[in-house]
Every structure is written in structure tokens, then in C-alpha cells.
Amino acid sequence: MKTVGIGLVLLLAAGVAGAQAPTQDRAGREQAIQSGQLRAGAAYSNLQQAQREAKLAEQEFLSAQEAQRAAQKNAEEATRQLDGAKKALDAARQKEAQARKSYDEALDGVDRARRPPPVK
């Protein structure tokens, strides 16, 4: 009888422990699920933030690219204007040199005319 009583107590203790184990496992799983859901939510928020930043960076890149193209086009136009101005400057300097030569020749002519003729 004592053996049956001890067996019964052991069986009861094992049943109680077995009943507590699934409850503890279930609570642990629930906690793991909640923890995982929190991590997934935080990761999703980070993903959305990264997507917004990537979109903004893409817009800034496209804007900078367009500005660079416009600047390059303006630079090409400025280069053409510079080349035209350089040609005009060279032509003006050449014209000035020719005018100076003509002026100097005219002054020399006046100087020669003012000199008395050589005595013979």
C-alpha cells in the first residue's frame, strides 16, 4: 500500500510538472512571438526610413545631374563666346597695328616734308 501511495504521489507530481511545462512553453513561445513582432516592426520602420532616404538621395542626385548638364551646356556656350571674343580681339589688335603703322608712316611723311631740302 505504501508503494501504491508513493507511486500515486509520484504520478501526481509528474502530472503537475507536465501540466506546468506546456504552460511555461506556451508562455515562452508567446513572449518569443511578441519579441519577434516587435523586432519585425522596428525593422520595418527602419526599412521605410531607408526607403525615404534613398528616394530623397535619388531626387538630389537627379537634380545635381541636371544642374551639371546645364552647367556644362552653359560652359560650352561660354567657351564659344570666349572663342568669338578672342577672334574679335585679335582682329581689333591687328587693325590697331595696321592703323598705327599707317599713322607712323604719315608722321614720317610730315617730318620729311618739314626738313629743309638738302643743299647741293
- 10-22 per-position pLDDT tens digit: 555 555 445 455 6
Instruction: Give the model confidence (pLDDT) of 21-76 as tens digits.
Output: 566 788 889 999 999 999 999 999 999 999 999 999 999 999 999 999 999 999 99
Q: Print the SS3 string covering the chain.
A: CHHHHHHHHHHHHHHHHHHHHHHHHHHHHHHHHHHHHHHHHHHHHHHHHHHHHHHHHHHHHHHHHHHHHHHHHHHHHHHHHHHHHHHHHHHHHHHHHHHHHHHHHHHHHHHHHHCCCCCC
Q: Has this prediction a pTM greater than 0.85?
A: no
Cα distance between residue 74 and residue 8, in whole Å:
97
